[in-house]
Amino acid sequence: MWATGLKLIGKLAKTYLEGRIAKGKAKAANAATWEEQAMMNSATSWKDEYLTIIFTIPLICCFIPFLVPYVKEGFIVLEGMPRWYQMTISVIVAASFGVRSVIGFMNRKNNNGDS
């Protein structure tokens, strides 16, 4: 009688674990499919180039002495923007350049306490 009960519990545990594994695999496959689709969609889009140009302008201006004060002031103004706006920009960049890489960068930045 005890053996039957233990077998039943063992089967339930096995079924539960198999379900959890299958759910995890499905979730990972879905995430990969979404990212693959996003990459295919971006192949014909100009937004990546646009964002690259927008993010490169301040970088280039930092090497032109009379533009440095404008770059500094611009970043001070951006830092004062509402948090929702800053997060929206982050999401736009993440969607364009790859969610995982940007999230990883933001997590490293936040964990280091950098601004």
Which residues constitute the domain of residue 7? 1-44
Given a contact cutoff of 8 angstroms between Cβ atoms, the answer to whether 51 and 105 are in contact is no
Position 76 in a domain: no
Position 112 in a domain: no
Position 88 in a domain: no
Position 18 in a domain: yes
| Count of structural domains within the chain | 1
Position 52 in a domain: no
pTM (predicted TM-score): 0.48
Rounded to whole angstroms, what are the CA distances from 30 to 20, 37, 108? 15, 11, 25
Average pLDDT over residues 15-39: 70
Instruction: Give 37: exposed, middle or buried? Use CB within 10 Å, 0-12, 13-18, 19+.
Output: exposed
Position 29 in a domain: yes
Element (H, E) at 108: helix 99-112
In this prediction, residue 48 carries a pLDDT of: 76
Position 73 in a domain: no
Position 40 in a domain: yes
In this prediction, residue 90 carries a pLDDT of: 82
Percent of the chain with pLDDT over 70: 60
